[in-house]
A = this chain, B = another copy of it.
């Protein structure tokens, strides 16, 4: 009889796991349970539909439901899993009863951290996540005059930019002293914030949320903060993404310091029949003894493929992560890999710094844009620790490159001696990565 692989969660991790299981065992009985109406859409696209950069929500769907039927993957929509019984290798499913599994993959994703302040029951608090809800919220945005975004993390940054693009008076409050305060260095954050000022955004840094305020009709009418009250018609609550671990916790599966499910390099949990992937689990960082939780859809999908493949009898490893990242912020692209100055300082890692202000094309070529590269390297060896980049184009490709460079142990000398493409419409005489590395070597020599 075919083995049964049950996947809880229909996001990038869960669908990756279902596909991974089918890849090694096409005869496996693969079932995916999701609480939502849909699978296989791109939630990452939602802020850009709100910002009118993408014309419709429909374009965010990646595949028709029939595609999963055709692939032999049985998706149970709008179906809640209530508990896991590890001793009997079953799950309890609302409306279906007890369902046995041979292998289980937990991919229950994230929940937004509870802001823990009064007023959380009010209407008008928008937690960006589900596409059907986003479609309804999008209609409501047409009537919104003034909005507050709570926290300028990755989603908050995209939502601030989207609301401002849409012409809504936008405020952002955040307890950190600058945008993306745990990741992004302040010199780069300042450039982003300047472009938000141009867009008419009002920023409130070092500011704690105290309460959501009632407008008298059960809807939000403002927020009370450590810096005073801000009136508004809508609040986007973009607090930290935490592991949605309640099923795993109740099932007695080991949980790490971040709240994420602990997995080994095969994405297996503390239970030998249970795997996990995506935002619900934590992953070791390649450069430090530091578990990370809440990475990107690309990470979730890649972890899912490994988890599902192994759950169906295979043996594949998922590497430690160095986390190249990137996004649009205001009129800029920002990105990097591993550690910038803020994170390295927080971790107590000494570093040598190399910085370059370069350009994306020949100086005289129309459309040329600024590109600033910062490289951090280990003193002495000058091995790359991380990079941060801001610019008008080519940031994602440079961040990918720097992520692998950190992983492979490249040094500032390797990067200073790199060759680069020079062609006026697409590349400047000197690649900013190369110049930053050269400047870093010079700085190391002086220190």
Contacts and interface: CB of A to CB of B under 8 A. Distances in A.
A419 B42 contact: no
A298 B44 contact: no
B48 A425 contact: yes
Contacts of A45: 362, 364-365, 424
A425 B44 CA distance: 10
A428 to B, nearest CB: 9
A117 interface: no
B423 A328 contact: yes
A403 B423 contact: no
A31 B335 CA distance: 44
A53 to B, nearest CB: 7
Interface string A310-324: 000000000101111
Contacts of A342: none
Interface in A284-333: 296-299, 301-302, 319, 321-328, 333
A162 B429 CA distance: 21
Contact of A48 (B55, B365, B397): B365
Interface string A1-29: 00000000000100000000000000000
A126 interface: no
Contact of A326 (B48, B328, B410, B426): B426
Nearest to A295: B419
A59 B364 contact: yes
A423 to B, nearest CB: 5
Interface string A51-93: 0011100011010000000000000000000000000000000
Nearest to A423: B327
A115 interface: no
A414 B395 CA distance: 21
Given A424-B42, A426-B327, A364 B419 contact: no
Contacts of A12: 429
Contacts of A374: none
B326 A417 contact: no
A396 B427 contact: yes
A190 interface: no
- Residue among A299, A323, A326, A423 facing the most chain B CB atoms (10 A cut-off): A423
- Residue among A298, A333, A408 facing the most chain B CB atoms (10 A cut-off): A298
Interface string A357-390: 0000011111000000000000000000000000
Contacts of A424: 42, 44-45, 48, 54
23 contacts: A42-B362, A45-B362, A54-B366, A296-B422, A297-B422, A298-B421, A299-B419, A301-B429, A323-B419, A327-B423, A327-B426, A396-B426, A397-B398, A400-B419, A401-B401, A403-B419, A404-B405, A404-B410, A404-B419, A407-B418, A408-B408, A408-B410, A408-B414
Interface of A: 12, 42, 44-45, 48, 53-55, 59-60, 62, 296-299, 301-302, 319, 321-328, 333, 335, 362-366, 393-401, 403-405, 407-408, 410, 414-415, 417-427, 429-431, 433
